[in-house]
Chains A and B, each alone.
Chain A
Amino acid sequence: MGVQLMEDTEVAARDAIAFPSVEWFERLAQLMKLNRARNEHLGYIDCVAVFTVLDGGLRGKPWSVQVTFEEFEATDVREATTADLARADFTLDATMATWREMIESIARGHGRPDLTHTLNYLSHTGAPIRVWSDDPLRKDMFFRFNQSLQEFINASGNFSTIFPD
């Protein structure tokens, strides 16, 4: 890692960010961009993923963010509307408690979750994370790009996350 990249990563990592929020995912996108060399090594990732916190919105309603991945970057992060959901290749649904447990595991592991908190571990049986899509081919993108998605989330180990009480 070059000196500039290290400095950039440190800047990106400085402040604590609330989860769930668009800013939190934007920070992951920023870190992905800074770690381009690593992402080039992993290979292209071309998909649109929605992350839903089932009880993360106002009055415990669902809150979703849509992340568009192109080549080696997350090129767009936005709070997902109903119209956006149709663009998504797949959606990952989980409760705040599940997301929190996973993010805290990544933080404890300095950017690597323990054996029972990877995206695949948590989603394989359909719970506590449910990965779904109307189209099995588009759902398969979750598998095709799994390592990149895992490392995208793992980047949260580089900054502090604040959770609602």
Chain B
Amino acid sequence: MSESFRIDTMRPLPASSSMNEEAVERYENEFKQHATKWQEILERNNERMKKGSYSLHWMNTDNAKWGRRAKPSSRGLTYTDINNVPGYGAIPARATCLNFAPRGSVRDEYASEMPVVDDYTLVDRDESWADNVITLYEEAKARQWNATRDIPWSELERLPDDLEKATCQLATFLTEVEFVAGDFPAKWLYKIPQDFLEVKSFIVTQMMDEARHQEVFRKRAIAGGGLLHASPGFEWALKAIYDAPTHTMGTFLLNLLGEGLVLSIFRSGEMIAKTHVDKEIFRRCLQDEARHVSYGVLELKNYLDHAPDHEKALEEMHRFADVGEQVILTSFSEAALAEPIAILLGGGLDKIDQGMEGQGKLWSMSVEEYLQRCDRAGFPRRERCTIPLEMPWACS
């Protein structure tokens, strides 16, 4: 400590103000505004409790679907099983109950006292519904796996330097891109009303899947040498998904196009894996990704099938896809993705040319699969697709 330093020369720290003061004040004001509603409920409850009297109104089943018991199927009690019980399975075309009251409960008579969740804006079923969403939800739960335990990490072998770097770069890419498929659904999840609980449930499984993918590829890279390069091209593709103007558009770009291409990468990853550990990782991931793709296809189909102005909806989707495809292409043309795949496909840095040739075939297949999925969704994209059908690569 310097000789000249003296405690009496120290300045006082600036007076601290709570970082959350404004937010807390807003919260207080909001609830004060609605005090007539919730305080009335509180007072009513207090009075009853002080009297020691019971309400037991909740035992009245006049307006309930009481007594129609759900029966489990062979695989347990699924959403389909409970939706088969009259009164519970009808999904409204438009959600009007914008609070947390469960679909099928006695709730209408309390509506005037209930709060409205302003964030529930995806009130039309066809902005998020897909006919396979219940099947996919049950399947997703049943096929969860654990990136810590289910991968035979102890069998991970050391690879030659070029192959290890290529594997770790591919894992870095996948670590970078996977969680947009968690963040994007999360951005919309809280906007979907409770009446579409099946969609909300499936979206949560997708987020869990993506957390696991991000985890498994991060682990693979760090166990094999380390994370390598992030890339601007990846980031723009992710931003294009994250910033999509509607849930359906974003789901098309993420699940149908993006995850469809990532599914191809996972399949390629399994094919070019140089260890059984990598094979198992890619096989597990591709299963999850295929579920997300299936949701994307039927979500878009449902949206287009029920659009009040079909032609306008199609044209808007095309406009969006014209941009979206190009931005996604930015990612898939990045050297930090195409080159490691080529090295793994070829079998080494010295065989990168052969690998690029092989990648050309995979490119065409992946684009064709994308177009087939668009056709299946009722979105004829062949004439307008902006992604080249052949990989734009000149063999040297």
- Which residues of chain A have a CB within 8 Å of any CB of chain B? 42-44, 46, 71, 112, 115, 118, 120-121, 124-126, 135-137, 140-141, 143-147, 150
Contact = CB atoms under 8 A, between A and B. Distances in A.
Contacts of A136: 297, 369, 372-373, 375-376
A120 B267 contact: yes
Interface in B61-87: 74-75
**A-B interface, 7 closest residue pairs, ranked by CB to CB distance from nearest:** A43-B143, A43-B142, A143-B290, A144-B290, A136-B372, A44-B142, A124-B271
15 contacts: A43-B142, A43-B143, A44-B75, A44-B138, A71-B75, A115-B275, A115-B276, A121-B271, A124-B267, A136-B369, A136-B373, A137-B132, A144-B287, A144-B294, A146-B283
Interface in B340-369: 358, 361-362, 365, 369
A147 B270 CA distance: 11
A23 B144 CA distance: 32
A118 B287 contact: no
A144 B271 contact: no
Contact of A120 (B139, B271, B365): B271
B270 A143 contact: no
Contact-residue bracket for chain B: 35 or more
Nearest to B139: A44
Interface of B: 74-75, 132, 135, 138-139, 142-144, 263, 267-268, 270-271, 273-276, 279, 282-284, 286-287, 289-291, 293-294, 297-298, 358, 361-362, 365, 369, 372-373, 375-376
A118 B279 contact: yes
A133 to B, nearest CB: 10
B286 A143 contact: yes
Nearest to B301: A137
Contacts of B273: 115
B259 to A, nearest CB: 11
Nearest to B290: A143
B376 A42 contact: no
Contacts of B270: 118, 120-121, 124
Nearest to A142: B290
Nearest to B369: A136
User: Which has the most chain B C-beta neighbours within 10 Å: A43, A71, A121?
Assistant: A43
Given A43-B143, A121-B270, A140-B293, A146 B276 contact: no
Contact of B376 (A71, A118, A135, A144): A135
Nearest to B75: A71
A97 to B, nearest CB: 19
Nearest to A109: B276
Nearest to A133: B372
A119 B106 CA distance: 51
A40 to B, nearest CB: 8
A137 B375 CA distance: 11
A147 B144 CA distance: 12
Given A140-B294, A144-B139, 17 more contacts: A43-B139, A44-B143, A115-B275, A118-B279, A124-B267, A125-B358, A125-B365, A126-B365, A136-B372, A136-B375, A136-B376, A137-B132, A140-B290, A143-B263, A143-B286, A144-B291, A146-B287
Nearest to B286: A143
A121 B266 CA distance: 11
B165 to A, nearest CB: 19
Nearest to A116: B271
Contacts of A44: 75, 138-139, 142-143
A89 B276 CA distance: 28
B365 A137 contact: no
Contacts of A124: 267-268, 270-271, 362
